[in-house]
């Protein structure tokens, strides 16, 4: 399965919704690909690499929601 959206870093807000996330969506804001990495050993965590058109890679260790296609 292919990751198409990644929501991370949940935080509280004082607006009507009360919560917010940062997000990456493939095809928006220069995001070209989101790669999921499974835990390999006991104590490891899932993490996600987000690739941008500019060549930058951002690694996310604290996902809150993942959308697959």
Residue 17 pLDDT? 75
DSSP of 26-50: TTSTTEEEEEEE---STT---EEEE
Query: What's the whole-model pTM score?
Result: 0.85
For 18-49, the pLDDT digits (tens) are 888 899 999 999 999 999 999 999 988 889 99
Residue 60 φ/ψ, nearest 5 degrees: -115, 125
Residue 45 pLDDT? 87
Reference 46, options 34, 31, 55; nearest CA is 34
For 6-18, the pLDDT digits (tens) are 999 888 888 887 8
Q: Which residues contact 51 (CB under 8 A, 6 or more apart)?
A: 31, 32, 33, 34, 35, 57
């Amino acid at each position: 399965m292919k990751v198409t959206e990644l929501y991370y870093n949940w935080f509280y807000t004082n607006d009507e919704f009360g919560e917010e996330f940062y997000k990456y969506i493939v095809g928006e804001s220069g995001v070209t690909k989101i790669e999921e990495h499974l835990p390999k050993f006991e104590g490891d965590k899932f993490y996600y690499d987000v690739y941008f058109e500019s060549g930058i890679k951002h690694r996310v260790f604290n996902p809150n929601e993942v959308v697959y296609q």
